[in-house]
Chains A and B, each alone.
Chain A
Amino acid sequence: MNAVLPKIRFRDPQIEMAHGAGGKASRRLVEDLFAPLLMGTSTEPLGDAAHIDVDGTRIAITADSFVVKPLRFPGGSIGELAVNGTVNDLAVSGARAQALVVTYVLEAGLPSEVLEAEVRAMATAAACASVKIAGGDTKVVEHGKADSMYITTAGIGRPIPGIELSAASVRPGDKVLLSGPIGDHGITILLARGELELEAELCSDTRSVLPLIEAMARVAAPGIRWMRDPTRGGVATSLNELARDCGLGVMLWEDALPVRDTVRGACELLGLDPLHIANEGQFLAIVAPQYAPAALQALHQSPGGSAATIIGEIREEPSGTLLGANAYGGVRAIDMLVGDPLPRIC
C-alpha cells in the first residue's frame, strides 16, 4: 500500500536543544514534522495523552522520556520523574494510570549502584502512585552516548468517570486553576547542575497529581473543561497552547501566582520568568465558574492541595493570546518560550 504522505513544513536545518525545551521550537518539530507524518490527517489538538477506542473500551495512552542531568537532585531523581511524569500526563488527560512499561538506555560505565538507586526510586514512586510496572526493555550504549541513563515510559490508563476534556469546550468566564507553587523543579535542576553557583533551600515538586485531580473530579467533574501539567516551558507555554487551541484569550492575575520566595529570588537574580520554568508536580485546570469554588475547596482539603489557587480567567479577546495583569492596571502579553530559558544580564 502506498500511502501518500503530506509535504513537510519543518524547515530547521538541524536539531538543536531548543527543540526539546517545550517551547515554540518543540511545537514546530511536533506539529510540522512528527504529527503530519505519523498521525495523518487528524485535526485533534495534541494533548498530554491520547484516548483511543479499543473494541468499545476507551483507553488512555501516553509516552514520555526523561533525560535529566543531574540524575539525582533535591526532592527526587530521574526514576521518580519518570513514574510521576507519566502518571501525571494520564491524570491531566482525565485518566487513572493502570500500568507503565519502562525502557532504559544505559551508558556503559554506569555504576550499578546508581542504576539500582534509580530502579528503587521508580518502584517506590510506582507504589505511591498505585500504578503497576508491567515490563520494559534495556539497551546499553557506549560510554559517552547516554549521559548515564535515559528512561522512557509508556503508560495506559482508564478514564476517570465524569471527566470530558477538550479545548473546544472552554468558554469565556471559565476560571484558571493552578494546583500549587510554580518554578520549584526547574530552578532546583538549574541549581543542582552547579554551573551558576547559587545555593538555596529548594527541592523539586515531583509527585503524582492524580489524587488531587480525583478529589477535584468528585465534586466538579462536569465543570472541568481542560487540564495540563506545565512541565517544560512552564505555565506560560501550557496556557499559550490552550489559548491557541480554543481560540479565546487567557488573562492571568500575576499577583495571584503562587511562587516561593526562593524561586522568585533565583529568577530575579538570573533574569528568568517563573512562568517559563518547568514543574513536575503541578497541574492547570480550566473550570466552569459555577464549579470553581467547589473544585478549589476540594483541593484545599486534600493533602498537598493547600496552595491551590485561581490565577486567572478565560476571556473572549484577544483571541489566542495569554495576557498578564498586575495589581496596578499594567498588562503584558506573555509569550511561549522560544527555546531553553537563558539567564540574562541585561
Chain B
Amino acid sequence: MCLAIPAKVVELFPGERSRALVEVTGVRRHIDIGLLEDDPPVPGDWVLVHVGFAMSKISEEQALDQLQMLTMLGESEAALEEVQGYGLGERAET
C-alpha cells in the first residue's frame, strides 16, 4: 500500500499516451502515467511511483515550503528565550 518513490520523468512516447520513462538516481523504469491523464506530466516533472504507476505529481513548491517550516521549528521559541534572557518580563503562556 505504501511503498512509493519519487522519480523524474525523462521521456514520453508519442504513440503511447500512458507510458513514460522515469529515473531515480540512475535507475530507469518504464511506468504507466494513465492515472495522471487529467494533467499529464512532462519530462522534468517529478512523480510519485507506486507499483509501476504514477500516482501524483510532486510539487517542488510544497516540498520547499515544508522544508522551510521544518527548518524554522523551534526558532520562534529560540527567539523568545533570547528575549527572556534580557529579563524583560514573565514567560508568556505558549
State yes or no: do A and B touch (Cβ within 8 Å).
Answer: yes
Interface contact A198-B3, CB-CB below 8 Å: no
Nearest opposing residue in chain A for B6, CB measure:
A268
Answer whether A345 and B50 are a contact pair too, CB < 8 Å, given A265-B24, A268-B24, A271-B3.
Answer: yes
In whole angstroms, what is the CA distance A265 to B25 when docked?
A: 5
User: Which B residues touch A346, using CB under 8 A?
Assistant: 1-3
B contact residues around A53 at 8 Å (CB): none
B29 near A198: Cβ-Cβ < 8 Å: yes
Q: Contacts of B51 on A, CB cut-off 8 Å?
A: 345
- What is the 8 Å Cβ interface bit string for chain A, positions 251-271, against chain B (1 contact, 0 not)? 000000000011011101101
CB distance B26 to A265 under 8 Å? yes
| Given the contacts A345-B50, A345-B51, A199 and B1 also touching, CB distance less than 8 Å | no
State the Cβ distance, B70 to closest chain A Cβ, in Å: 13
Question: CB within 8 A of B25: which of A199, A261, A271?
Answer: A261
Report B-chain residues with C-beta under 8 Å of the C-beta of A269. Answer: 5, 7, 24, 27, 29, 49
Tell me the complex Cα distance, A262–B25, Å.
Answer: 6
A119 at the interface (CB under 8 A from B): no
Q: Identify which of residues 18-60 in chain B touch chain A, using a CB-to-CB cut-off of 8 Å.
A: 24-30, 49-51
What is the minimal beta-carbon distance from B57 to any residue of chain A, in angstroms?
18
Cβ distance B27 to chain A, nearest Cβ, rounded Å: 4
In the complex where A345-B50, A345-B51 touch, is A198 in contact with B27 (Cβ < 8 A)? yes
Nearest CB of chain B from residue A139's CB, rounded to whole Å: 40
- The distance in angstroms between the C-alpha atoms of A269 and B29, with both chains bound, is 10
Contacts known (A345-B50, A345-B51); A265 close to B3, Cβ less than 8 A: no
Residues of B within 8 A of A271 (CB): 3
Q: Which residue of B1, B2, B27, B50 contacts A265 across the interface (Cβ within 8 Å)?
A: B27
- How many residues of chain A are within 8 Å of chain B by beta carbon? 16
A199 adjacent to B28 (CB under 8 Å): yes
Q: How far is the CB of A320 from chain B (nearest CB, A)?
A: 30
> In the complex, which residues of chain B have a beta carbon less than 8 angstroms from the beta carbon of A116?
none
Q: For chain A, what secondary structure do more than half of its interface residues adopt (helix, strand, loop), or is it mixed?
A: mixed
Which of the listed residues B1, B2, B26, B29 has the most CB atoms from chain A within 10 Å of its own CB? B26
Would A200 and B3 count as touching, CB distance under 8 A? no
Q: Is the CB of B2 within 8 A of A200?
A: no
Chain B residues lying within 8 Å of A345, measured Cβ to Cβ, are 1, 3, 50-51
Q: Find chain A residues with CB under 8 A from B2 CB.
A: 346
Distance to closest chain A CB from B33 (angstroms): 15
Bound complex: CA A200 to CA B3 (Å): 20
Q: Which of B3, B5, B27 contacts A262 (CB 8 A)?
A: B27
Contact residues in A for B5 (Cβ distance below 8 Å): 268-269
A200 touches B1 (CB 8 A): no
Chain A residues positioned under 8 Å from B26 (CB to CB): 200-201, 261-262, 265
User: Whole-angstrom distance between the alpha carbons of A248 and B24 in the complex?
Assistant: 38
B49: chain A residues at CB < 8 Å are: 269
Measured between alpha carbons, how far is A345 from B53 in the docked complex, in Å?
Answer: 12
For B7, what are the chain A residues with a Cβ–Cβ distance below 8 Å?
269
Nearest Cβ in chain B — how far from A184, in angstroms? 13
Q: Determine if A113 is an interface residue (Cβ-Cβ < 8 Å).
A: no
Q: Chain B residues near A344: list those with CB within 8 A.
A: 3
* A199, A201, A264 — most chain B CB neighbours (10 Å): A199
Q: Is A197 an interface residue (CB 8 A)?
A: yes
Distance A346 CA – B1 CA, assembled complex (angstroms)? 5
Q: Measured between alpha carbons, how far is A199 from B1 in the docked complex, in Å? A: 24
Most B Cβ at <10 Å: residue of A201, A269, A271, A346: A269
Name B2's closest neighbour in chain A (CB-CB). Answer: A346
| A261–B27 CA distance with the chains assembled, in angstroms | 9
| Shortest Cβ distance from residue A256 to the other chain B in the assembled complex, whole angstroms | 19
CB within 8 A of B29: which of A199, A262, A264?
A: A199
Instruction: List B contacts of A262 (CB < 8 A).
Output: 25-27
Sampled A-B contacts (6; CB under 8 Å): A201-B26, A261-B25, A262-B25, A271-B3, A345-B51, A346-B3
Q: What 3 A-B pairs have minimum CB-CB distances, sorted nearest first? A: A265-B25, A261-B25, A265-B27
